[in-house]
Amino acid sequence: MRVQSQRQPIWGLTTEEVVARRTQGLGSVPPPTTSRSYLQIIRENVFTTVNIILFSVGFALVLVGQYLDALVSVGVISFNLVIGLIQEIRAKGTLDRIALLTRPKATVVRDGREQQLDPGEIVVDDILVLHAGDQIVVDGPIISDGRIEVDESLLTGESELVAKHESHTPA
């Protein structure tokens, strides 16, 4: 994390330096996705203990010649399964849209100008510009005049702001 200094203009990384760092594997790693895939949703809804037992009962009814009973029991299970799948897939779509809206953006200085980027596009030695209320999406030294106060409650559980000073290197 770096804060823009008032002492001298900051140029930041050039486009070529960003490409070089990314090819060296020095880019930030985005967090894993929190949403389940469609395959996981289907697998977790179809292969439940209750469904396996009821489909087995339906198969057993077919073996003993009770076709209508088997059709009714498997039909009811399948109807319930389809309703559950539709609800979970719609919920997944809604949650994915909400996640896109709440994803933080990072302001970095590159080629002498500020740019808004997705946190996954940040590389080592990028200079972040922070304003009040911004989320700090990466770790690093501060290169600012003065100090900033950071809410680290999600990391530490402490509700107090933590003061950070120039050249403070994170642990």
Q: Which fold has domain 15-29+104-165?
A: 2.70.150
- Beta carbons of 108 and 128 less than 8 angstroms apart: yes
Closest residue by Cα to residue 104 from 88, 90, 116, 89: 116
For residue range 120-169, list pLDDT tens digits in order: 888 888 888 887 777 777 777 777 766 778 888 777 888 888 887 776 55
* Helix spans in the chain (H): 15-23, 38-46, 49-63, 67-102, 153-156
Global confidence as pTM: 0.54
CA distances from 112 to 14, 15, 45 (A): 8, 11, 52
Map out the domains of the chain as residue ranges: 15-29+104-165, 38-102
Confidence category of residue 9, pLDDT binned at 50, 70, 90 = low
